[in-house]
Every structure is written in C-alpha cells, then in structure tokens.
Chains A and B, each alone.
Chain A
Amino acid sequence: MQPLIKTTGVQLSFGGVIAADNIDFELHSGERLAVIGQNGAGKTTFINICTGYLKPQAGKIYFDGTDITSMTPRKIVRLGMGRSFQLPQLFTEHTVRECIQIAAARQNARLTAFKPLAATVDTREVESTLELVGLREDGDALSSDLPEGKRKLLDVAMALALRPKLIIMDEPTSGVASEDKHGLMQTVMNALDERKVTSWFVEHDVDIVAQYATRVAAWINGAIVADGSPDEVLNDPRIKSEVLGN
C-alpha cells in the first residue's frame, strides 16, 4: 500500500546544528504516530518541513504519492494535510464558529466577496465539527476568550474542518493542566476516528503516548533512532535513558 507520507534522505541544518539528518520516513493511512524526543531534537522542524513551512536542503517528501518538497503550505493543505500548532493558531477576533466556518469554506475552495460566510458553508458540517470537539456551546464566544484547553481543541477542529486525510499535531496537550490532558486527547482521538483521519502528533507525556499511539518514533539530534510499537520504543533502554530521561 502506498504510504500517506514518505520522505527520502531529508536533510536540513541551521548553521552547525543538524535539525534533520537524512530522514527516511513513512506513515500509512490509519496509523496514529506519536513522535517523542527531547526539546531541540528536531521534531517540530520535521513537521515544518513536511507541511511546507521549511524547505529541506536535500531529500524528497511525498504526500499521497505527490511530490510536495517544494510546495507551499497552502498547496499541501489543499492536497489533504491539516495541521495544529504547539501554540494554538486562531483568528482571535473571530468567534469559534467563524473560525470553523472559514476553514470549512476551503472544502468548496471559495471565499466569495458578497455572499455571507455562513451561507457559503454547510451549516451541519460546521456544527458537527464543533460537536465533535465539544465546542458547540462555545460557538458564539470569541476564540481569544477560550481557556487554553479549548483553544487547543479549536486549533485541531480548524484542521479537522478541512476534511483532511492526515492531521499533524504539534504537542496537542502542552500548556494544558495534567488532569485535563487525557480528556482533551480522548476528545481529539474520538473526533479523528469519527472522521477516519490518520494522525501524527508530537508529545512529551509518556502516558498519553502509550494510551493513544499505535506507533512511536523517537527523535535524537535530528534523526529517528527508534520506530515501532509503543511497547517496543518506550521500553527501549536507549530511549528510556536518552529521550525519556529515566
């Protein structure tokens, strides 16, 4: 089966710091990949490369069989790749519902200059996306007024509203109180399952990784040093000492 994402020999360095060291990587439909690694290991850089924000100095990136190496984020998104951010990237002067509506307008690929935004999108689709992430009651609230956990959910929901094949989430539980992390992650994973979206998320919390990932890749100094089932990777002695700090 053709991988959803495939990278071959991807390299990127900033001065003397190697952020991506000849990375060969594949992700298949249906997987839930967790990426772990210390700060500065290159996890977010690799996401930025795959989503078009950074261009690799060498190597190729394919998404669903299409070479996206030199594409802009906008074009990659149009192929079916959504993304959420470590710091939620919202439209802070728009309501929660409007944020989803703008994203949902992407489905019919048009932003008209005359017809009201709400009339250009499928209202049921917008409401179902809000419902999926538990934000329906907050629909009329300004996105900037939401607490951090809900801001994270809205960030994911905006990507979800694009009806993507893959969502890449950069630390979806960071900045959220530890007692709320599992609830947030459960909501996100239920939503992804409901929409049958493949996911890849960066995470520092080992419990979250063990519970929600079907596959784990560990990063050290811009390279993947372990890749396999959560059991294999999380119990690897090298990963335990160098990544998890046990």
Chain B
Amino acid sequence: MMYAISAIGAALILAAGHFLPWTITPIIIGLTYAIAALGVSVMMRAGQVSFGHAMYACISAYTVAFIARAYPGTDAITLILAGVLVSVLASAIIGVFMVRYRGIFFGMLNLALSMVLFALLSKLYHITGGTDGLRIPRPPFLGMTLERESFEFLLLGLALVISFGLAWWVQRYFRSGNGAALAAIKTNETRLEYLGFSAYVVMWRGYLLSATVVGFSGSLLALIQGLVTPELGLWLRSGEYVFIAILGGAGHAVGAFLGALVFEAVKLTSSAYFPHLWQFILGFTLIIVIFLFPKGFVGQLSKRMKL
C-alpha cells in the first residue's frame, strides 16, 4: 500500500512539474529537505540528535560546485555521485570521534564542526567565493545538453528516483541487524555490549549512512539552485532538518517525507498570509505535533496501518 501511495504521489509531482513548471524548483527543494531529514532520522533512531548535519549537505554541494567549475561538461549524475562520495569520506573521518559522544555532546559537537565549516567557507573568499558563494554552470544530463526547463524536469525525475531509493534503503536498514542494534543503543547501550556487539561500530555505520543520505540532498540542492553558499551548512539549516525529522517521526523512512510536506506547507502558507508571524506559526505547529503525536506523524500512522 505504501508503494502504491508513493507511486501516485510521484505521478502527481511529475504531472505538476510538467504542467506547472514553476513548481519544479520548490518541489525539488522540498525533496532535498526530506532527504536530509531522512538522514538525520537515522541517528535519531539511536536517540542522537545532530544539530550539524547540514555540513554534509554543504560538503556535497561545494564538491559539486568545485568539480562543475573546474571540469565544465561533467555530467550531472557524476557530479551528484562525486558530491556524495566526498560527503561519505568526510563523515567516515569525522564519525571516528563523533560517535564516541552521546546526547547533548553529540548534538553540540556536530553543530560546532558545522560552524567551523561555515566560517571557513565564508572567509576563504578566493577559493569558496565567500558569502556570495559559487555559481554552478548547468551541466549536461546523461550526456545531453539541455535547456533550463528540460534540465529541471529531468532533475525532478532524478530527485524522485533518489528519494524512493534512499527511503527504501533507509527503511531496509531500519529492519536490518545493524538498524535494530542502532535503535537498541537508544534504550540500552550497556546491554548491547553485553551481547558482544560494539556500540561504537554500530553508531559509526549509522553515522556513515546518515551522512550519505544527507550528502544526496546537498548535491541535488546545488544543481537545482545553480549556486552554493555557506548558508547550506548553517546550524539553522541543520535545525530545520531536525524539525522535519521530529514532525515526521523516526519510526519509518516515510516520516521524513511527511514531515517535509507539512513543514513546507506551513512555511509557505504562513509566510504568504502572515509574513511577520511565520516563524511563530511554524514553532507553534511543532509544539502541537509533539504534544499530540510524540512519535511524529509516522507514529500516528503506524497505529492505524501496518507500516
């Protein structure tokens, strides 16, 4: 049933993109938020909330920008994969010490590192373009040089495929042995060690997957915007990912997409109708959701249908 609903949703999105081309950019940006929140929700399964995961989207996005500018003509698919790869490598190194920490220390250390990256990107003007960022020339897509509309429509299709693939992968991971052990860390890390498993290794693998997923969002965001700026790695952005993950719930991969849908809907409508109050309305929504659905939308859905 979940696959059927997802397929219908994807068809509607593609139809919207085809008949209303102006919707493509906001939809892709919404999907990148959902993908990033999906990555954040992986660590939330272990009870760890990162307030710095936007750095992996940022690393991935800047990699896309550097390569696209250094090697014009590089294919969009290659750029996305390169961005994700660098993001994974960075998380593999950072994760070595990051996964030793729990709770507030985990959250704050991630935030601190993301702010170091933000500062570096802002200050190293000659390399990164400073706060103005770097423009990305439109790359070819599967070898084809396309006009803007066609490129964006194909990118929408690719973003949907990546979203499905990542959601399926993450959900598969949640049900795997490593995923079960990651969730066990949340409730009883000591017992996990007394079953002969290394909580450290389990956490590190989870962190790697989490950054990989967030990396995809950065690459896609860079290509649809055609511009990367240090704001991509700002802690506020990480906070938005956490916000979406909490709204949707970490119990199922679909939670991040539900959370992003509601987040974007509330943000767009409240900023349109109450331009001076949209942050208040967004915050109020989160309070209501946490109060009514402590496990997010997906927790509520799980009660009604077998997810």
Interface presence of A25 (CB below 8 A) = no
Q: List 5 A-B contacts (CB under 8 A).
A: A77-B195, A92-B187, A106-B196, A111-B181, A113-B173
Q: Does B190 contact A (CB under 8 A)?
A: yes
Q: Pick the contact of B183: A51, A93, A103, A162 (CB < 8 A).
A: A93
CA distance A115 to B176 in the complex (A): 5
Question: Contact between B184 and A111 (Cβ–Cβ < 8 Å)?
Answer: no
Assess whether A89 is interfacial by the CB under 8 Å rule: yes
Q: Which residues of A contact B198 (CB under 8 A)?
A: 74
User: How far apart sit A133 and B198, CA to CA, in the bound complex (Å)?
Assistant: 27
Cβ contacts under 8 Å, B173 to chain A? 113-114
Residues of A within 8 A of B192 (CB): 91, 102
- Asked whether any CB of chain B lies closer than 8 Å to the CB of A158, the reply is yes
A residues within 8 A CB of B98? Answer: none
Closest 8 CB pairs of A and B: A111-B177, A77-B196, A89-B191, A113-B178, A91-B184, A111-B178, A117-B177, A92-B187
Q: How far is the CB of B168 from chain A (nearest CB, A)?
A: 11
Q: Which residue of chain A has its CB nearest to the CB of B198?
A: A74
A182 at the binding interface (Cβ < 8 Å): no
Min CB distance A140 to B, Å, is 12
**Among A73, A77, A91, A113, which residue has its beta carbon within 8 angstroms of that of B188?**
A91
CA distance A110 to B177 in the complex (A): 8
> Across the interface, which residues of B come within 8 angstroms of A83, CB to CB?
194
Which label, helix, strand, loop or mixed, suits the secondary structure of the B interface? helix
Contact of B191 among A91, A101, A111, A114 (CB under 8 A): A91
B175 near A: Cβ within 8 Å? yes
Contacts of B205 in A (CB 8 A): 113
- Give B250 Cβ to nearest chain A Cβ, in Å: 11
Please, which residues of chain A bring their CB within 8 A of the CB of B267?
A: none
Min CB distance B93 to A, Å, is 19
User: When the two chains form their complex, are residues A94 and B180 in contact, meaning their CB atoms are under 8 A apart?
Assistant: yes
Q: Per-residue CB proximity of B200-211 to A under 8 Å, as 1/0?
A: 001001000100
- Judge whether B177 and A74 touch: CB under 8 Å: no
Which single member of A78, A90, A93, A112 contacts B196 (CB below 8 Å)? A78
A116 to B176, CA, bound (A): 4
- The answer to the question of A98 belonging to the interface, with a C-beta cut-off of 8 Å to chain B, is yes
Question: Is there contact, CB below 8 Å, between A51 and B195?
Answer: no
B172 interface residue per 8 A CB criterion: yes
Residues of A within 8 Å of B187, CB to CB, are 90-94
Contacting residue for A102 out of B172, B181, B186, B190, CB 8 A: B181
Interface pair A120/B191, CB less than 8 Å apart: no
- B179 interface residue, CB < 8 Å from A? yes
User: Looking at the complex, which one of A74, A98, A115 makes contact with B197 (CB distance below 8 Å)?
Assistant: A74
Let me know if A102 and B195 touch, CB within 8 A: yes
Check if B193 is an interface residue, CB within 8 A of chain A: yes
Interface size class of B (residues with CB under 8 A): 20 to 34
Residue of B nearest to A143 (CB): B187
Interface set, chain A 113-137, CB cutoff 8 A to B: 113-117, 120
A94 touching B184 in the complex, CB below 8 Å, given contacts A117-B177, A120-B177: yes
Report A65-99 residues with CB < 8 Å from chain B CB. Answer: 72-74, 77-78, 83, 89-94, 98
Q: Which residues of A contact B197 (CB under 8 A)?
A: 74, 102, 106, 111
- CB contact between B195 and one of A94, A114, A162 (< 8 Å): that residue: A162
A34 within 8 A of B: no
Neighbouring B residues of A77 by C-beta, 8 Å: 193-196
List of A residues within 8 angstroms of B172 by Cβ = 114, 116
Q: Are A116 and B188 in contact (CB under 8 A)?
A: no
- Please, which residues of chain B bring their CB within 8 A of the CB of A115? 176-177
Asked whether, in the complex, the Cβ of A90 is within 8 Å of the Cβ of B191, the reply is yes
Residues of chain A within 8 A (CB-CB) of B191 are: 89-91, 158
Cα–Cα, bound, A110→B175 (Å) = 14
Q: Is the CB of A92 within 8 A of B188?
A: yes
> Chain B's nearest CB lies how many Å from the CB of A75?
8
* CB <8 Å contact, B180 and A102: yes
Which of B175, B177, B194 is close to A73, meaning CB atoms less than 8 Å apart? B194
Q: What is the chain A residue whose CB lies nearest that of B47?
A: A93
Contact of A112 among B176, B184, B186, B188 (CB under 8 A): B176
Given contacts A73-B193, A111-B181, 16 further A-B contacts (CB under 8 A): A74-B194, A77-B194, A77-B195, A89-B190, A90-B187, A93-B187, A94-B180, A94-B183, A102-B184, A102-B195, A111-B177, A112-B176, A113-B209, A114-B176, A116-B176, A117-B176
